[in-house]
Amino acid sequence: MAGAKYPSSGTVAAEPGPIDLDWPATALLIIDMQRDFMEPGGFGETLGNDVSQLARAVKPIAAVLDAARDSGMLVVHTREGHLPDLSDAPPAKIDRGAPSLRIGDPGPMGRILIRGEAGHDIIPALYPLDGEIVIDKPGKGAFYATELGDVLEKYGIENLLVCGVTTEVCVNTTVREANDRGYRCVVLADGCASYFPEFHEMGLKMIKAQGGIFGWVSDSAAVIAAMTPEISKISAAGGSR
């Protein structure tokens, strides 16, 4: 990690307990912060959800993303979506429920949840920089039918800072997949969100239950404090005067 203000390791305050992270072996994984889920007219709204519920995660993610970029940490973005011919979209997924528009149907931001359409892309506030890795995934989990595992192995990644939407679906699925592959996951509670606040709460509880059965739960401030301990001490001292 570049810059004197960023140590090579740090201890993140988390539940069920603090976790020591080697920053060069850690990546920031941002799950599905896409217009189709975050904005009116996208897939999330077609399912009858209040998409404004997800907005609360944007600023905390942006803060950690800025710190990660400044430090030189590996940043990985994911996008859920399908090929234009829907050959990677199982009929059971397309036909499930009673949305107003189904996957592949024309919507206000192009075809719903289709790669290359405007709605499939990441929101401007968190848009990837040139050179940042973007993983396109056809399922809920970021490892299924993607190159994510190969990417993390290439960069020597052992730990994942996980955030994004939604807490109980794509974030939880990815954390479970990562846990089975031996990665240590720290989920940022304020950097995740759900259309259903109670699902967000329970999704986090499931991750940290039984001594951290799937991983740890922390927040953006704790992660940034662990990445920049000297700056955090100075800020805290200044604020106490």
Query: Mind telling me the catalytic residues?
Result: 32, 137, 170
- Tokens representing residue 175 in the block: 């954390």
Q: Helices 58-71 and 220-227 sit at what angle, rounded to 10 degrees? A: 10
User: How far apart are alpha carbons 55 and 71 in whole angstroms?
Assistant: 26
Cβ neighbors of 29 (< 8 A, separation 6 or more) are 76, 78, 142, 160, 161, 162, 163, 164, 174
Angle at 59 between CA 149 and CA 9, to 5 degrees: 50
Parallel, antiparallel or unpaired: strands 106-107 and 110-111: antiparallel
DSSP 91: H
The residue to which tokens 């931001």 are assigned: 109
Single out the residue of 40, 58, 61 nearest to residue 50, CA to CA.
Answer: 40
Single out the residue of 28, 137, 132 nearest to residue 78, CA to CA.
Answer: 137
